Amino acid sequence: MKILHASAEYFPYIKMGGLADMLASLTKEQAKSEEVYVALPFIGGLGKEPQWTGKEYPALLSKDAKTDSLIVSVLMASRFLEAEESGVKLYFFQSDLFQSLNSIYGHADEHFRFAMFSYACYALSQMLKVDVFHAHDWHTALSVALQKDSPFPIPSVFTIHNLAYQGDHPFWMTGFLKEEPFRLVTSPFDHNGKCNYMKAGILSAGQITTVSPGYREETLTEPNGFGLSYCLNQRASDYSGILNGIDSDEWNAKIDKRIYKTFTDSNWKEGKLKNKTELYKEIGRPFLPLDAPLVGLIGRLTYQKGFPTFLKALLERRHLPHRYVVLGSGDPETENAFFHLSETIPDIFYFYKGYNEGLAHKIEAASDFFLMPSLFEPCGLNQMYSHVYGSIPIVSRVGGLKDTVEESNLLPYKTGIVFEPNDVGSLGYALERASDLFRSDERDVVVKNIMNLDWSWEKRKKEYQLVYTRSIELQI
Ligand code: ADP
Ligand code: GLC
């Protein structure tokens, strides 16, 4: 089967969050048995120099090249450059629209830039004559709408990674979608008076998926549907939740070159102690005693991640022996609050503002616990990464977190600590339970247990295969 994915992120080239990791690891696994292609934007600030094959493809279908418009001329001056990575063919969309960008999101004209990228992805799918076209999140959603209206539609799948970001723009900005080469009827994409790209993807795709069964259920009602639950309910029979997998070549305590000392489930105590000691040296914080539990936190500092709840719980439970190392950037208010704690309680709290892939691995390896206080979480990857590094996750009971972490009373099934979202008391009590678990004999059983959980894509890629088959059958 030939599959083309279209995405704004792909690790290690463009990464802002979990989408990059999810797609790179899924496609690497798919490429073991299928022909897998990925289209992504060519930005100035790529995380790695691609291995070019020298092949190029146009970004415009020849029939559309005959029409005359500004958009057509921009697309004529753009192209796809082919590269290869782990058995996957990558198609970098080279265009003035993206070339000058150092990071992928947050720029003016996103409505136009991603619409153009979406058209180019659609054109590429037609040129490569793929069997399935798989688009991810609002940035590429219009390519699915173009597919639906095409005289030669390719079976399509649209994956929602996060409903909080929908790509909705005032209609006066999206008038160009009616023109060549789009020719889209945009009135069905109207949501609250705006042209909503995410809605276009939901309405147009043959099959829709999201990244965990738990989040699928949550998005069928408000507020977690972010206003689009009615749309998802209309398409409920074509909508499935497939849990993300992880890349065990990238995230693996046994072989990780980014950490200070690799370890297994039999020498994890020694491994953690060494990683903790070295991490403290690197960040310049000799947190003592060394056997006090270290809680790691990593993430985009946005509303979704629930950090203000953590801040309140931390201050309420100052008596606990925990030390905290936080890595992230985003919302300035949360950044300032973390900086403030880093200054006022430097003996227990450290904050690193920024994005640092290497440090993320080191924190996972050194931490005894990993905290994710999300208010909502489509899947979440760090709780699974934490398992692999023997770092016990403490998570809120939402979305993919509740599908992957269980605080069972039956010891062999306990894979973490779970609390209620947005509830300071519940989070505080979870921190208390972590402290008890840290000192008890149970900890060894739990750590060994979580280090052996299988979060690989091997089993789960079959679920995507089924969705592809369903989308193909629908088209016949
Ligand atoms: P989301 O996609 O919502 O941000 P996920 O848990 O799915 O959440 O994935 C986040 C990914 O981004 C993880 O690989 C995490 O380690 C990484 N990450 C987030 N913030 C940072 C940061 N500041 N530095 C390094 N890695 C980060
Ligand atoms: C989104 C979600 C996150 C998920 C990731 C990959 O960014 O916020 O929960 O793990 O996509 O699917």
Q: Which two tokens stand for residue 49?
A: 């120099």
* Pocket residue to mutate for ligand 2, from 162, 376, 382, most atoms within 8 A of Cβ: 162
Helix%, strand%, coil% for the chain, nearest 5: 45, 20, 35
**Residue whose CA lies nearest to ligand 2 atom number 10:** 380
Residues 143 and 81 placed together within one structural domain of the fold: yes
67 in a domain, yes or no?
yes
Averaged pLDDT in 10-residue chunks for the chain of 476 residues: 98 96 98 98 95 98 85 95 97 96 91 97 98 98 97 97 97 95 96 98 98 98 97 98 96 98 98 97 89 96 97 95 97 97 95 97 98 98 98 98 95 94 98 97 96 93 97 90
Q: Which two tokens stand for residue 376?
A: 């909502």
pLDDT at 287: 83
pTM beyond cutoff 0.75: yes
Name every residue whose Cβ is closer than 8 Å to that of residue 96 and which is 6 or more positions away in sequence.
74, 77, 78
252 in a domain, yes or no?
no
d(CA 171, CA 188): 12
C-alpha pair distances (Å), 208 with each of 181, 198, 225? 25, 11, 14
Is residue 69 within 8 Å of 180, Cβ to Cβ? Answer: yes
Q: What are the phi and psi torsion angles at 251 (to 5°)?
A: -115, 95
pLDDT at 449: 96
Residues 159 and 214 placed together within one structural domain of the fold: yes
Residues 179 and 306 placed together within one structural domain of the fold: no
Is 15 annotated in a binding site? The answer is: yes
Residues 288 and 206 placed together within one structural domain of the fold: no
Residues 103 and 181 placed together within one structural domain of the fold: yes
For 180-257, strand residue ranges (E) read 190-191, 194-196, 207-210, 239-241
Residues 470 and 424 placed together within one structural domain of the fold: no
pLDDT at 70: 85
- Ligand 1 atom nearest to CA at 300: 20
Determine the distance separating the centroid of ligand 1 and the alpha carbon of 16, expressed in angstroms. Answer: 7
* Pocket residue to mutate for ligand 1, from 22, 244, 300, 379, most atoms within 8 A of Cβ: 300
pLDDT at 475: 84
- Ligand 1 atom nearest to CA at 21: 14
**Residue whose CA lies nearest to ligand 1 atom number 14:** 18
Check if 247 has its Cβ closer than 6 Å to any atom of ligand 1.
no
HSE, side-chain direction, 13 A CA sphere, residue 181: 28
Residue 81 belongs to domain with CATH number: 3.40.50.2000
pLDDT at 407: 97
Domain housing 400: 268-450
pLDDT at 66: 81
